[in-house]
Amino acid sequence: MSAASVTLTPSRARGGAAGLGGRRARRRAGRTAGPRRALILAALAGAMIIGSALPSSASFSERVSLPTTTIGTATVGAPTGVNASYKCFGWGVQVTLDWNLSSTQRGVTGYEIRTYVGTASQVQARMGSTDTTWTANADKSFANGNAFDFTVTTLTSYGWTAESVHTPQIAC
């Protein structure tokens, strides 16, 4: 590997000072550097003052099209035409309920039969989604002296329900 070498040749500056760093050149640079720096600094400060006084503004504009979203609403229809027929016997009562299917188009998983005695209620049965009749017997300890009625509730796969109107009360 070879080393590069630089040779400086002395030159004579005006006034007879020799070399790059002559005393006279340094004195001249020293005399003009201060005023030159002050002038540049004053010019920059003036530009900043003038620039900050001028009004500035920026704007941005873009148009975006979003996809259209439609949200539908639905209701669950309760069974209609709920009818309770019954027969009283010495041992108790036999009740038959029948109803029309819910008008709900999708998601119906079945029907729930509920008995009410006053304001208290109890689930009696869960039926399939195409069933429209239910028959049950109650012994006379329940039937005697108690008036009771029924409702049929539509059950759906998404958790919504709708209860029918109460049947007329039954008493033996």
Q: Would you say the pTM of this structure is higher than 0.75?
A: no
Res. 17 pLDDT band, cuts 50 70 90: very low
pLDDT (0 to 100) of residue 1: 46
Segment 90-123, tens digit of pLDDT: 888 999 999 999 999 889 999 999 999 888 899 9
pLDDT score of 21: 54
Nearest in space to 97 (alpha carbons), one of 147, 132, 130, 123? 132
Q: How confident is the model at residue 78 (pLDDT cuts 50, 70, 90)?
A: very high
What six digits make up the tokens of 143?
């039937």
- pLDDT in the model for residue 36: 84
Q: Which residue has the tokens 């329900």?
A: 161
Phi/psi at 170 (nearest 5 deg)?
Answer: -115, 135
Q: From CA 168, how far away is CA 148, in angstroms rounded?
A: 8
Identify the pLDDT of residue 12.
Answer: 52
> What residues are paired with 153 via a beta bridge?
112, 163
Determine the average pLDDT of the residues in 20-31. Answer: 58
Q: What does the alpha-carbon distance between residue 152 and residue 134 come to, in Å, rounded to a whole number?
A: 10
111: exposed, middle or buried (C-beta count within 10 Å: 0-12, 13-18, 19+)? buried
